Amino acid sequence: MTESAPAAPARQPVPVLSARGLTKVYRTGAVTVQALRGVDLTLFQGEMVVLLGASGSGKSTLLNILGALDTPTAGRITFRDHDLTHASDRALTQFRRDHVGFVFQFYNLMPALTARENVALVTEIAQNPMRPEEALERVGLGHRLDHFPAELSGGEQQRVAIARAIGKRPELLLCDEPTGALDSATGVTVLEALAEVNRDLGTTTAIITHNAGIRKIAHRVIYLADGLIAREEVNETRIAPSQVSW
């Protein structure tokens, strides 16, 4: 009787970005707003996470702090084994430049530059970039390289923004309402581009959205309320972007 080989142990998820006890307080005159109230969160290598919550729940504040666009009032944030909590402005700029791609609701493309040139703005200063043509091909725009933003639809412009974000091969892709300004069919196209980047490049991806249906494409869902993580869900079965209910 031949004994079967033991099953390989499950791979442990690798932390990429960790936040502990994050708080953020905004003060305007006598008015104090506590946007985050002690958030603990870890993003793991290669996962896609969706962050859901009502307006004012702290989603965008959290994403901005994770991407070093803002700093916490208190708490600790680490990228792999690097403590970003007390990093200098220069070090945070280098972290954003080398490791983080951003996609926002509004595309922020340079109107006088072609799609290729908009992507090259990032790839020309990156350490290990893709060619702009490759980045645009990955989001299905290889045939629109020399078109200006005014010649592109909203969905195409957002895909140029995604190509610009991934062109430097970031380890983190942070997306704030990337489909918020799009209709359902166009939004699905954008989600397909994000899912493909996550799957094929292994880019850790976090997406803020108000559309609860989008949560089903993620590995994990984080619900925020009143500046806190209310609960988390793991999707044992994920759906394709084409199946998202708008």
Sheet order of strands, 204-209 included: 100-103, 172-176, 204-209, 48-52, 220-225, 228-234
Return the CATH number of the domain spanning residue range 15-238.
3.40.50.300
Task: Name the pTM for this structure.
Answer: 0.89
Among candidate residues 12, 26, 96, 86, the one with its CA nearest the CA of residue 61: 26
Structural domain boundaries of the chain? 15-238
In this predicted structure, what is the pLDDT of residue 1? 46
In this predicted structure, what is the pLDDT of residue 5? 52
Distance (Å, whole) CA 165 – CA 100: 8
Low-confidence ranges of the chain (pLDDT < 50): 1-2, 8
Among candidate residues 112, 153, 124, 158, the one with its CA nearest the CA of residue 139: 158
pLDDT digits (tens, 9 = 90+) for 165-182: 999 999 999 999 999 888
191's enclosing H/E stretch is helix 184-201
| Contacts with 202 (C-beta within 8 Å, 6 or more apart), sequence order | 45, 46
In this predicted structure, what is the pLDDT of residue 107? 87
User: What does residue 121 show for φ and ψ, rounded to 5 degrees?
Assistant: -55, -35
pLDDT digits (tens, 9 = 90+) for 17-35: 999 999 999 998 888 999 9
In this predicted structure, what is the pLDDT of residue 28? 86
In this predicted structure, what is the pLDDT of residue 8? 47
